[in-house]
Structure 1
């Protein structure tokens, strides 16, 4: 009844009401959002001003009902609702042309009929083939342009997608259909079926295009978690380590992780998918390199990416000592320590890390483990040691295979020793002569 006669008639019916009450009810229950009363209209009504009366727009009825899934429907809006509730069953009625013919002949709505015909024309084979799910979604939007996005049981207005996702994430609901709708750019389909241009829709369309890019990547810092925080500016971080602290701003994140560490809640890494996505969505400074390292499949690079990401936040926001968090992170740095080849260097780092932890400085910990100069010295020393080892291995192999005999090797060693002794004796002789001459 609400679809056919409007919200006012559905709620009030034949009830006799005072004229002022009818006026405010018609205004506030108007189904057209552009004509519905706003705060200004209510203020005028309260001051005694008479406003133009709103008349309910009755949905146009068809000369002959459309039979679908054992039901008869006389309006396009009714049919759209029925098809949205019977997703798979709607496909044959759309593809075989029955819907377009009904719109053109029985409903006498050539615009909708042409729009449906255009969509059906894209159903074919090859790269441009339109999937059935998108087909039904688009047809429902054409039949009922004032309705929300309808997709496989999902029904939500574009500006409500963020709130819908937040509720589903908090309550542990199924978000797969919403994620699929964003991946398939269903909001863009909704915008393309609007009757008139709206600049707000252009802004929203750009926003949702960005969300698809986040879903496409899927790695830590992206995925559905990134979409959640991008679409909800006031959404707190839902990581298990921070959820009780209701962290909304980035400057509150590290103290919350520090508190979790002090409580003994160090489960896994401090940077999980929610923390990474929250940082990426809230940071107003450059963190691309750190995020790229964090998402690396190489455990050492990922470990350093996590440390550097937290360190840059502590540095950029000027946050003080974080003893608990530093201890948590410091205990995870074994992969970074093992990147050094020198045993002495590794022992030095194992002694230095506890000192950095006691200072509560992630920045200094990052400088210690991510020093380009130290890595260069270590790599050079390793290369030199490797060359010496290879030379020794070659020498052993030559002796074992007879390329160099023990006699030859002994002669070579004797010659080298004789040369060294000769040089030494010469040096001593010259020194003594100089001393004697001086005396």
Structure 2
């Protein structure tokens, strides 16, 4: 591999890469397929300060967003046994001008232990497993545990040989896609394996110890130990006989490895080995891992979908995969009777009876039926994830499922129904104990509920998505060619969108509104109320401009000329709503100036100026009154009223009265003069 890397370094010297952080260069036209991660393409990269260092970059997907928070946390880790991020950021691809989030790593010197999940390879010896795999993995898991971060991608096709004489493995990256999403089912604990990939959630450190146990089983076997089983059959087998029996079974394993495998593959997370147990075992201490506690078997089987089931957990798993038939099963008391008589579980039977009655009260296809089925599945198996229709998610996976599957049919609606029906709280109530790690996930589910209950723009499931997935990029279709995961990046993205031509549509949708409300601090709720209640189309556009002017004030940049031109085009008709020509001219000139400066607040002041509007209205009212008066006089003259008999008679009377008064005054004056003299 070193010769190949040297060849790439020489080629890079002659070509210009895409700069990242003023230090690195990324080469999207130079793929490195052997370093691809699921959902991400690997390409060559260069550290300009250390050109001899072999690097690669993973180009991440917007829809399956990277774990940006984990990238930041692990970028400070220096480890020779773990691929950790050296840098990350956004680049613009020259081929299609799409902006992508990329993560840069150092290239491992060796090859993947397993080329892909179904490949076979030479099994590792016990000594190679202990020294080359378990020892460095203990170091990695201790580092991750100290950061309260689960890897969630420990598997044989994500570890590399070191290329040195010690043959220690290097653990691959875990940050380029959502936690656990691409993990094969055999590496997942039972509850995570029952979940959809999107609903597995960030998970726990105990999940990584379980995956390490599966990794040891795979490496000692030389590949997947149960290739003949489908994913559903793997989970069903783990439920029936336990993970150890499913994955190890009768395989020949040394007593020392058997002890570690039993401890790591324990299906009870509370009894599963942790870092202290592994340390003790590695130092020669003999531990006695607790044997798997299997579900109680019924005295007689219950038939469902043509199969017979002897355990409540097995039946619950099967019913979750056939929702409509599960609804039919609740229409009589057969299931409740089986649990009460064959399993002697009065508590579970009472829960099922209550849910069955709710189902029958709900009617055909009612929401009550779906809630009843969910309740029955939880009663039959309290360790299983939350299941509702096609949703299957761990408590910590609800928010991630909302983000990943947001554009899939009815997923936001179904997750909304889950939290509105308090199914997450019902799940908590049947757990043997309240664990501290449940608290933040309960709070997160409550946050989802609080926003989905408010449907107006800026709220709803979109708001819940961004509130509960702090680094998830904005999923607005307007930004499909960009990667915007921070509030300060929103307006620059819209500015780029308008640089090649001003669109005809308004740069606003439910995603942009919810993203803004979440990622930009101190935005008034009033801004979103105005978006939801516009008087007309022009007022809606003004409301959008008002929101964006506040975002520009809070996050910058100072100049957004393309965005200003965009709004000037949308709001141009406002000038025609003014009556005075001088005002229209003044407004047009002001808009042109604001457009050039790119100041959205100035543009808003012009198009939403109450003083100017009031002056225009008052002046127009006065003009209307003057016009009406003049028009009345013109009409009066045109109608001949000036020479009409009535008007002439009235004028004559008034003239006679005036003349009489004048003559009388003169007569009095003359007589007074004569009398005095």
TM-score (normalised: structure 2) = 0.55
**Compared with structure 1, are the counterparts of its residues 379 and 104 closer, same or farther at alpha carbon in structure 2 (3 Å cutoff)?**
same
Match of 1:283 among 520, 528, 546: 520
CA separation of 1:279/1:54 partners in 2, compared to 1, >3 Å: closer, same or farther?
same
Residue deviations 1:160-180, cap 9 Å, x none?
1232233334xx5x2414422
Give the equivalent residue in structure 2 for 1:136: 373
Residue 271 of structure 1 aligns to a residue whose secondary structure is coil
The structure whose residues are more often helix, as a share, is: 1
2:343 paired residue number:
107
Partner of 1:348: 586
Q: Name which of 301, 306, 311 aligns with 1:65.
A: 301
Q: Is the 8 A contact 1:225 1:277 kept in 2?
A: yes
2:402 corresponding residue in structure 1 = 165
Residue 325 of structure 1: aligned partner: 563
* Alignment match, 1:310: 548
CA distance in 1, matches of 2:318, 2:638: 87
Report the Cα distance in structure 1 between the residues aligned to 2:450 and 2:640, rounded to whole angstroms.
65
TM-superposed CA distance for 1:37, in Å, is 3.2
SS for the counterpart of 2:308 is strand
Quick check: which one's strand share is greater? 2
Q: After TM superposition, list the pairs within 5 Å mapping 1:205-220 onto structure 2.
A: 205-220=442-457
2:497 matched residue in structure 1:
260
Say whether the 8 Å CA contact 1:119–1:135 is kept in structure 2: yes
The answer to which of 34-43 and 232-241 deviates more is 34-43
Corresponding residue to 1:368 among 601, 606, 621: 606
Cα 1:384/1:163, change in 2 over 3 Å? same
Shift of residue 403 of structure 1?
Answer: 12
**1:99 CA displacement:** 1.2
Question: What's the counterpart of residue 485 of structure 2?
Answer: 248
Structure 1 residues 141 and 405 mapped into 2: Cα distance closer, same or farther (>3 Å)? farther
Moved more, 268-277 or 33-42: 33-42
1:181–1:240 CA distance, 2 compared to 1 (3 A): closer
Structure 2 residues not aligned, in runs of 5+: 1-236, 653-677
What per-residue deviation string (whole Å, max 9, x for no partner) do you get for residues 338-394 of structure 1? 454444323321221111111111111112222232233233334444555666788
For residues 91-145 of structure 1, the C-alpha deviation after alignment (integer angstroms, 9 at most, x for no partner) is 3432321111111110111111122223334446599x96111111111111111
Contact 2:316 2:380 in 1 (8 A): yes
Quote the RMSD (CA, aligned, Å).
3.5
Deviations 1:218-260 (Å, cap 9, x if unpaired)? 4433333323222211111233444444222111211121122
SS state at 1:333 partner? helix
* Structure 1 residues 19-72: Cα deviation after superposition (integer angstroms, max 9, x where no partner): 332232223222223333344544444444444512111111000111223221
Task: Select 2:417's aligned residue among 183, 196, 205.
Answer: 183
Task: Tell me if 1:222 matches 2:456.
Answer: no
- Asked if the contact 1:95/1:120 (under 8 Å) is kept, the reply is yes
Q: Distance in 1 between matches of 2:637 and 2:336?
A: 91
- Is the CA contact 1:399–1:406 (under 8 Å) kept in the aligned structure 2? no
The answer on whether the counterparts of 2:527 and 2:547 sit within 8 Å (CA) in structure 1 is yes
Q: Trace 1:119-158 onto structure 2 (pairs within 5 A).
A: 119-123=355-359, 125=361, 131-158=368-395
Check 1:361–1:404 CA distance in 2 against 1; reply closer, same or farther (3 A cut).
Answer: same
Q: Is the 8 A contact 2:268 2:292 kept in 1?
A: no
Are the equivalent residues in 1 in contact too, given 2:371–2:421 (CA < 8 A)? no
- Rounded Cα–Cα distance in structure 2 between residues aligned with 1:54 and 1:387: 95
**CA gap 1:113/1:292 in 2 versus in 1, 3 angstroms:** same
Structure 1 residues 182, 240: closer, same or farther in 2, change over 3 A? closer
The 1-side partners of 2:389 and 2:296 are apart by 27
Asked if the contact 1:183–1:216 (Cα under 8 Å) also holds between the matched residues in 2, the reply is no
Query: Secondary structure of the equivalent of 2:262?
Result: helix
Unmatched tracts of structure 1, length 5 or more: 415-439
Q: What secondary structure, in the 3-state scheme, does the structure 1 residue paired with 2:405 have?
A: helix
Q: Is the 8 A contact 2:506 2:541 kept in 1?
A: no
Judging changes above 3 Å, is the alpha-carbon distance between structure 1 residues 23 and 217 closer, same or farther for their aligned structure 2 residues?
same
Out of 92-101 and 355-364, give the one that drifted further.
92-101
Query: Does the C-alpha gap of structure 1 residues 60 and 371 become closer, same or farther in structure 2, counting only changes over 3 Å?
Result: same
Report 1:67-86 matches (<5 A): 67-86=303-322
Distance 1:59 1:249 in 2: 47
1:269 maps to which residue?
506
Look up the SS of the partner of 1:155 in the other structure: strand
| Contact 1:303/1:335, CA 8 A, preserved across alignment | no
**Are the counterparts in 1 of residues 488 and 556 from structure 2 also a CA contact under 8 Å?**
no
- 1:265: how far off? 6.5
Among 533, 553, 563, the residue aligned to 1:296: 533
Alpha-carbon distance in 2 for matches of 1:238, 1:400: 68
Cα distance in 1, alignment partners of residues 650 and 351 from structure 2: 94
**TM-score of the superposition, structure 1-length normalised?**
0.82
Aligned partners of 1:187, 1:25: CA distance in 2, in Å?
A: 40
Inter-partner Cα distance in structure 2 for 1:217 and 1:409: 71
Match of 2:45 in 1: none
Whole-Å Cα distance in 2 between the matches of residues 402 and 213 of structure 1?
74
Higher alpha-carbon deviation: 256-265 or 278-287: 256-265
Q: How many residues align?
A: 411
In the alignment, which residue of structure 2 is the partner of 1:421?
Answer: none
Asked whether the equivalents of residues 287 and 309 of structure 1 are also in contact (C-alpha less than 8 Å), the reply is: no
